[in-house]
Structure 1
Amino acid sequence: MTSSPASSLSATERASRVRLMIFDIDGVLTDGGLMFTAEGDTMKSFNSMDGHGAKLLREAGIDTAIITGRKSGIVAVRAQELRIKHLYQGIEHKMIAFQQLLNETGIAPEECGYMGDDWPDLAVMLRVGFAAAPANSHPEVIARAHWVSKARGGHGAVREVCDTLMRAQHRYDALLQAACEG
């Protein structure tokens, strides 16, 4: 079997082409744990450094999106706080939301990145140009990812992938310098 030029790209080359980075929630932006109140409301814990990484992506000119299987008011609040304008919740088949996102943004699949951790993420991960996974993802997801973080989901994996994207696109140093200058 011969490989196409796209399949031989390194993770850094793939990251350099990303214009839209898409994230799953449970196990990626959170540690995957679900806490429920007595009333049945779901609570989630988010990492502030992951959130800052998502904000930095926007400053670097990379758009962000969330596609998640669960529906939660907490996720809507977090997405609004991070100014993530593309939010798809309660999505059973993530490819449907992914196609809607492509239609809405006009961005090609190879210009998208996706970070997921479990089987429901695989269909989208196999179609984007840059597939990423937290360190504690399911082994089948890790086997199909172009890039795997050292950090676990909800514990810096998102920040790590954001830094990787910014470095690959040569925007990291300028953003760091701006932060140092205040």
Structure 2
Amino acid sequence: MARKLKTYQTSLGFFDQAIAAPSMKAALEAWGADSNLFHQGAAKESHDPEVVAATMAKPGVVLRRPVGTDRPFSEHAELPTDLGGRRTSEGHPKELKDEKRSSRPVDKAAERKAALAYEREQRRRELERAKEEAARQKARKRGQQMVDEAQAALDKAEQEHAKRAAAIQAEVETLEKKSQTEEARWDKEKERLEAALRRARG
């Protein structure tokens, strides 16, 4: 059974934000808040008929309006042009006035419709998040595959290099032995020839 929705409102950055959600926790999650704005007094349940009507028309969607204004809430609000905020005749910012509770009778059918719409929106968000996570996993897998292929190519090249270096080293050692043999032969030959030369000069 769909949970009954309530309208919650806060001010974050340049915008007032409102949402129809089943709980304060759900509202905080939708706002992306990393602390409990309700305990801090920075968020509250709203009973303003216009705000309630706007959020119930799009349950689960964060609606915004420039902070300090009484413009209607919408999904794509423009930045405020007057950051000082509009003031009431009492000199207090508009958003800090006590909100009047709606005197309209509760429309149970509309409540149920809004709650179901909220659940649909939540499912849509969850599906979006699942698609994004699947795309991230696919990208990670593709990245890992590229790393694995590059590592395999490097390993193969290193093995080939080691094989060639070993062959060259073997050739060097063979030549070194030939060189030593030739030096020994030449030493003997030179000694013999020099002895013959000395005898000839004798």
TM-score (norm 2): 0.17
TM-score (norm 1): 0.18
Higher relative contact order (CA 8 A, sep 6+): 1
